[in-house]
Amino acid sequence: MTLLAFDWAIIIEKLILIAIIVLTTLLITLYTTFGERKVAAILQDRPGPNRAGPFGLFQPLADGLKLIMKEEIIPTSASKWLFILGPGLAMTASLMTSAVIPWGTELHLFGRTIELQIADINIGLLYVFAVVSMGVYGIMIGGWASNNKFSLMSALRAASQAISYEIAMGLALIALLMTTGSLSLKTIVADQVAGNWWNVVYQPLGFLIFFICAMAECNRTPFDLPEAENELNFGYHQEYSSMKLGFYLFAEYVNMIMSSAIMASMYFGGYDLPFFDESTVAPNIAAIIGVGTLLIKIVLFVFLFMWIRWTIPRFRYDQLMNLGWKKMIPLALLNMLITGALILSKL
């Protein structure tokens, strides 16, 4: 029975943590869609949704209910299994990123020390990178399986966009790794909590590149070419209806939250509340403050995403490629060179 000599409590603990994180993420996502509509409205001098419940707070529930109640249509010419797989894959890939994000320090409950991170793997950043690039499969498969010209076109755009911007993203991350010396997100955040400055101070250009690439990876305006309404009829999810469409739309918002969490953790100190010494309060309270701080940072990033979306128009396809290959990649390489030179000069 040596195989079963295992700390079973940790499995339960992790399962509960996963459930909490996934459910919270989905709940926040619901209200991010509401936030998106409100932000758009306020930036355009409109009141936005305000009918369902106080201040329109039940609007996302109504939207969700509407999506579920709609007829589920699978086109006859579509490849059925891939068609169903697409949205599921998009959603799974975007939720999987949450596994390595350190949401806080640690809680002491029932005599146990609970890490507020699902898995502290030593290749955390590589994992994030791998999962993020898997996100494009959902769009690819969905767009291809729809058997529709516009959807296929959009899927191709999504794939080429993701590939182009992942390179710059990776190069920006390499520069960050050179300064932190660790791939584990927990270590990266802990270093920022212990040290004086957040990584964005050491890597401003790297952050900018990463931010732009994250926006491209999330298919957010100005990089929303895959779902360009006016050229491609909503692109890859044109043939989708009901909750399968809902999953695609949701996955975009989950992606946005996850990349905000990653950016907050890597460049903005994660759960670190600035000018506040965590050791002065009880560890449990410090952990809760940390989680709250990270959530606030995520909300700020999400607002930034929305703010940009409702300010600037979409890029043209050639502009997108120009920006990706001729500006982002050389800039990221330059950033790497400067970082390397500075590290060498300090040695």
Partner 1 sequence: MQALTNKSIAVNRSPMTIWERLYLINIIKGMVITFSHMFKKQPTVRYPEQKREFSPVFRGLHVLNRDEEGRENCTACGLCAVACPAEAITMEAAERQEGEEHLYREEKYAAKYEINMLRCIFCGLCEEACPKDAIYLSETFATANYTRKGFIYDKNDLLIPNTLTNATALAKAKGVEA
- Site residues, partner 1 (CB under 8 A): 42-47, 50, 307-308, 310-312
> Which of 41, 84 has the CB closer to partner 1?
41
> Which of 95, 216 has the CB closer to partner 1?
216
Cβ at position 231, least distance to partner 1 in Å: 21
Angle between helices 242-267 and 80-96 (to 10 degrees): 30
Cβ at position 176, least distance to partner 1 in Å: 20
Structure tokens at 141: 């498969």
In sequence order, the β-bridge partners of residue 108 are 113
Nearest to 37 by CA among 65, 69, 71, 62: 62
Cβ at position 266, least distance to partner 1 in Å: 21
Cβ at position 100, least distance to partner 1 in Å: 30
How far, in Å, are 102, 143, 185, 296, 298 from residue 188 at the CA level?
10, 37, 5, 19, 17
In sequence order, the β-bridge partners of residue 62 are none
> Which of 161, 265 has the CB closer to partner 1?
161
> Which of 14, 325 has the CB closer to partner 1?
325
Cβ at position 292, least distance to partner 1 in Å: 24
DSSP string across 198-240: -HHHH-HHHHHHHHHHHHHHTT-TTS-GGG-HHHHTTGGGTT-
> Which of 236, 267 has the CB closer to partner 1?
267
Residues 6+ away with beta carbon under 8 Å from 306: 35, 36, 39, 40
Q: Is 107 helix (H, G, I), strand (E, B) or coil?
A: strand
